[in-house]
Amino acid sequence: MPRLYEYLGLIIFFYSNEHEPIHVHGQYDGRESKAEFILVEGEIVEIRISEVKGSRPLTGKDLQNFKKIVDVYAQDIVQKWVDYFVYHRSIRPEIINRKLS
């Protein structure tokens, strides 16, 4: 389970056996949601937030923090997906201590 970011206690990660479309999971306090990145000709055109089957979804400020980080770091997340799943490179997690605006 490669971690990408830790943001205000929220963990953003991939599962090691992921599938397309490109997506990440956000987990906090036993809750989990995912964000799918819809690309057209290599450009992100939409980010869809959804529940993870079998998990309680993120809510309130935790869901808002998840939406914020995937929005701000969208291009970086897509690049990390390609690096990890296509080029089999390791991912170094980043801890983000400042509030994103």
**Contact by Cβ (8 Å): 80, 13:** no
Question: Tokens 């090691």 identify what position?
Answer: 16
Predicted local confidence at residue 101, as pLDDT: 79
Q: How far apart are the first and last CA of the chain?
A: 28
* Per-residue pLDDT tens digits for 4-13: 999 999 999 9
CA-based torsion, 44, 50, 53, 56: positive or negative: positive
What global pTM score does this model have?
A: 0.92
- Render each residue's pLDDT in the chain as its tens digit; 101 residues: 899 999 999 999 999 887 788 999 999 999 999 999 999 998 999 999 999 999 999 999 999 999 999 999 999 999 999 999 999 999 999 999 999 97
Bond preceding residue 21 cis, omega within 30 of 0: yes
Q: What is the pLDDT of residues 55-65, one digit of tens each?
A: 999 999 999 99
Q: Is 38 helix (H, G, I), strand (E, B) or coil?
A: strand
